[in-house]
Structure 1
Amino acid sequence: MFISVVVPVYGCRAALPELCRRLAVTFEDMGARYEIILVDDHCPQNSWDEIERLCAEDEHVVGVRLSRNFGQIRAITAGLDLCKGDWIVVMDCDLQDRPEAIPQLFEKAQEGYDVVFARRVERKDTGLTKLLSRAFYKVYEYFTDGAYDSSLCNFSASRRIVIDNYLRMREHNRGYTMFIKWLGFRQAAIEIEGDERFEGKSSYNFSKKMRMAFELITAQSNKPLRFAVNVGFAIALLSFAYLLYNVIRYFIDGSAPVGWTSTIASIYLMGGLTLSAIGVVGIYIGNIFTEVKDRPLYVVAEILNGKERP
C-alpha cells in the first residue's frame, strides 16, 4: 500500500521535523510505502528553508512552494493534485493531529469504508472557538439541507477514487471535509483525542472565519436567496395587515395613530431588508465573477523531490 500524506504548512515551522519523524516511524511500523507532501502556503516563518532541509535528508518528503498565500484549502488541493498514493491522508502541520492515530483510520477503513474522518474529542480550542464552530455548522445545515458534525476535522484517510472525484470540483469557494462528505462515498468517523498546538496559534481570526462561512454557504446553496424572498414577503404581509388594521380603526373610532414615527421606522426597516437582499444577490454575482475568470486555484513556484517519487 502506498500512502500519501498531504500537509498544508503555515505558521508552524518548528513542528515540521517532529511531524516528519513521527510520520516516518508510523509508516515503518505499518510496513507501508509513503510520501509526505509539505505544501508551503507562503508561511510567514519562512518554513520553506526547513522544508528544503527535510527534502534533502529524506526522499520521502516532497516540498511544494506556492507563489503566495492561497489559503489552507487550496494548499491542500495543490498537494492532492501532486500526490500518487492509493490512500491519501490529509492533516495539519501543527501536530494537533497525531501521526500515531493514522493506523486507527486505516483499521476502520478495513471495514469497507472509502473515507474515514477523525472526530476530535476534547478539542484544545477556546470556548469561543468551539461555540462559533457549532453555530456555523447549525447555520450551514439549515442553508444546505445537510447534516454535519462540527467535531469532524480535515484529518482523514481517503481512497484514491474519492480524491480523484474531489479534484474534479475546481470551484474557487471550496472546502475539504464538506466537499468530501458531499461526494457520498462510504464514510465513517472515529474519535481521536487531539493534542495541543505544537507552536503558534490559528491564523483563522473571526473575520476570516466569517468570510469562509459566507463562501462555503453561497458556493453550495441558493437557499439564502429564497430566504431573503421569504423574509421580504413576510414583512410585506405584516405591513399590509398593520395598514388594514389602522384603516379599520380610523373608520370605527378615529383613533388611528398619526405621526412620522411609524412611517420612518417602516422606511428604515424595509430599506435595511432591501439592502440585505441586494447584498445576498451581490455575493452570488461575485461568486459568478470569480468563477468565470477561470484563474488557477493556486500557483506553484517550486517542487522538491517531485520527480523521484515512485
Structure 2
Amino acid sequence: MHKKISLIIPVYNSSKFLHKTLEAVDDQRKKSSWDLELVLVEDGSPDRSFEVIESLSQTYPYIKAIKLSRNFGHQIAVKTGLSYATGDYIAIIDDDLQDPPSLLPRFFDELDKGYEVVYGIREKRKENEIKKLAYSSFYRILNSISDTKIPLDSGDFCVMTKNVKDKMLTLNEQNPYLRGIRAWVGFKQIGLRYERSGRVEGESGYSLKKLIKIAKDGIFSFSSLPLQVISILGNIGLFISILFTIFTLVRYLANEIAVPGYTTIIIIIAFFNSILLISLGLIGEYIYRIYNEVRNRPHTIIEKTINV
C-alpha cells in the first residue's frame, strides 16, 4: 500500500546550509519514490532562514512552510509541524543532517511490519565528553524517576503513524516534552540504534539555558519526585530537630547549657530556612506550570506560511 510521507524539520539559524539538507531529502525521496510532504517550521530564526525556504519552495514544490512570529523553542516548533502534517507516516529530523534522511527507509520498514512508533537510539555522539556525560546522565536519571518509562538515549528523531501523531496532539500541554509524550501515549514501539553524524555546518541552536529548560520539562512533566523530595527534606529536618531537642534537654538537666548559644541558633536557622526555600522553589515550579496551563494561551503565533 502506497503511503504518504510527512517529514517535519524545525528550522533555526540554517540559512547557510538548509539547501544541503533539502538536497539530501530530495535524493532520498527520489530513491525511495516517496509521496512526500516536507513541513518546515521556521522557529523565529534571526537569520535569513525563511527567505531561503521561500526560494527553495520554488525548486521543491512539496514544501509546506510555517514561520513563527518569534522563537518559541524546538519542542513547540516540532509540535506545530505535527499539527500541519497530513501524511500516513510522519518523520521528525533536525535541519543539520545529524539524523540523515537516508536512515528513514529502515525506520519506515518497521512501521510496515506493524509498529506504530520507531525511535532512534543514539550511539557514538559527536559532542564533547562533558556534553555526552550530561546527556547520558540526564536520560538515566529521568528514566529512573519518571512514572512513564522513556527510552534511554532517544531524541526527537523518530517515525510514527498518523494514529500516534493524532493521539499526541490531544495532549495540549504548554511545555511539551515530546519524547516523553511519545512514550506516554503507548502503542507498539521499537528503537533502532544508529550512529549520529556531526553537524553539516554551523553550531547547535541549543544553548545551556534551552537544554536546562528541556530537562526541567522532562522532569516536572513526567515525575512527581520533586514534590516527594520536599517530604523527604521535611522528615530529615524533623529527625534532626528531635535529636537536637533531646540533646538540649540532656544538657539542660545536666546544667551544661551556656547562655550565648549563638552558633547553634545560626546553624539551625540556616538549615531550616534552606529546606523551606528549596521546598518553596519546587512548589513554585509546579504552580507556575499549572498557571501556564490554566491561561490556555496558544502554543505559537504564526506569522507567515507557504503552501498551507
TM-score (norm. length: structure 1): 0.92
- Structure 1 gap segments, 5+ residues each: none
1:123 aligned residue (125, 128, 136): 125
Kindly indicate whether the alpha-carbon contact (under 8 Å) linking 2:42 and 2:65 is maintained by their aligned counterparts in 1.
yes
Kindly indicate whether the alpha-carbon contact (under 8 Å) linking 2:121 and 2:194 is maintained by their aligned counterparts in 1.
yes
- Aligned counterparts, 1:1-310, within 5 A: 1-251=3-253, 254=256, 259-306=261-308
Kindly indicate whether the alpha-carbon contact (under 8 Å) linking 2:122 and 2:154 is maintained by their aligned counterparts in 1.
yes
Structure 1 counterpart of 2:218, one-letter code: L
Structure 2 counterpart of 1:225, one-letter code: L
Distance in 2 separating the partners of 1:124 and 1:90: 20
Kindly indicate whether the alpha-carbon contact (under 8 Å) linking 1:13 and 1:45 is maintained by their aligned counterparts in 2.
yes
Q: How far did residue 252 of structure 1 move?
A: 5.2
Q: How far did residue 230 of structure 1 move?
A: 2.0
Any idea what SS the aligned residue of 1:68 has? coil
Alpha-carbon RMSD: 1.9
Structure 2 counterpart of 1:170, one-letter code: N
Distance in 1 separating the partners of 2:36 and 2:176: 27
Any idea what SS the aligned residue of 2:39 has? strand
Identity %: 29
Q: How far did residue 142 of structure 1 move?
A: 4.0
Q: 1:257 to 1:133 in 2, by over 3 A?
A: farther
Select between 202-211 and 224-233 the one with higher mean Cα deviation: 202-211
Distance in 2 separating the partners of 1:4 and 1:130: 30
TM-score (norm. length: structure 2): 0.93
Kindly indicate whether the alpha-carbon contact (under 8 Å) linking 2:148 and 2:222 is maintained by their aligned counterparts in 1.
no
Select between 223-232 and 88-97 the one with higher mean Cα deviation: 223-232
Distance in 1 separating the partners of 2:18 and 2:41: 11
Matched positions, count: 306
Kindly indicate whether the alpha-carbon contact (under 8 Å) linking 2:4 and 2:36 is maintained by their aligned counterparts in 1.
yes
Kindly indicate whether the alpha-carbon contact (under 8 Å) linking 1:40 and 1:65 is maintained by their aligned counterparts in 2.
yes
